[in-house]
Amino acid sequence: MTLVIAIDGPAGSGKGTIAKKISSFYNFPHLDSGILYRSVAYLCEIGGEKNLDENIVLKYAQNLNLDEIDIDNLRTKEIDEISSKISSYSSVRESLKSFQINFKKIHSDKKGIVVDGRDITTVIFPNADLKFYITASLKDRANRRFKELMLINPKIDKKLVIKELQKRDQRDMERSTAPLKIADDAIIIDTSYKIVPQKNLPSF
């Protein structure tokens, strides 16, 4: 039995940081599902796909090979926007769902896995052993994303970062397929101002 720890939350909530810490503490493989959407977005960007036609985006998703993607290119403002748009396509989500289900299969010899994203607790692993919904105030989340984007472009406008984060939240929460929502059985953690503890985690 492979324990599944599923973590969802909006942009900048700290879910990725928490997922990484759990993963390294327990030595459980970690899948950041956002990387999948960002990688497809990146392929659309370098492919010059301006219209983001669903069938074309789907082809990129179906042929996705993470080994060919340089993940250092994935956290730009442009990729934020494209990944948020293409993640509303149900065919694209279905294709990336197989990838995520397969992640569990290929790690079936491990004690556990950690997967984070927007629909992990609700759609991808609705029967996960542990579910978390990580959130934080818009101000704190935008500050974190601003600091990250500043490393790429020191002149980035903070107001724009806040606006784009809100737009992304709205798209993620209001789309008809697999919207971001709190699973009934999820543990909610608000990380506003919080530091993630690294010690005293329970053993499995």
> Of 111 and 194, which has the nearer Cβ to ligand CDP?
194
> Of 111 and 114, which has the nearer Cβ to ligand CDP?
114
- Residues forming a β-bridge with 30: 114
> Of 28 and 146, which has the nearer Cβ to ligand CDP?
146
**Least CB distance from residue 203 to ligand CDP, whole Å?**
28
| Alpha-carbon torsion angle 125, 100, 7, 113, nearest 10 | 90
Q: Using CB under 6 A as the criterion, which residues of the chain lie in contact with ligand CDP when the complex forms?
A: 11-12, 16, 33-34, 37-38, 83-84, 87, 117-120, 168, 172
**Least CB distance from residue 148 to ligand CDP, whole Å?**
9
> Of 1 and 96, which has the nearer Cβ to ligand CDP?
96
**Least CB distance from residue 112 to ligand CDP, whole Å?**
19
> Of 38 and 131, which has the nearer Cβ to ligand CDP?
38
> Of 23 and 84, which has the nearer Cβ to ligand CDP?
84
Q: Dihedrals φ, ψ of 36, to 5°?
A: -65, -50
45 Cβ partners below 8 Å, 6+ apart? 78, 79, 82
For ligand CDP, the nearest residue by Cβ is: 34
**Least CB distance from residue 3 to ligand CDP, whole Å?**
19
How many CA within 13 A on the CB side of residue 19?
A: 27
**Least CB distance from residue 172 to ligand CDP, whole Å?**
5
Could you give the C-alpha distances from 168 to 82, 95, 118, 147, 183, in angstroms and in order?
Answer: 10, 21, 12, 18, 20
**Least CB distance from residue 65 to ligand CDP, whole Å?**
18
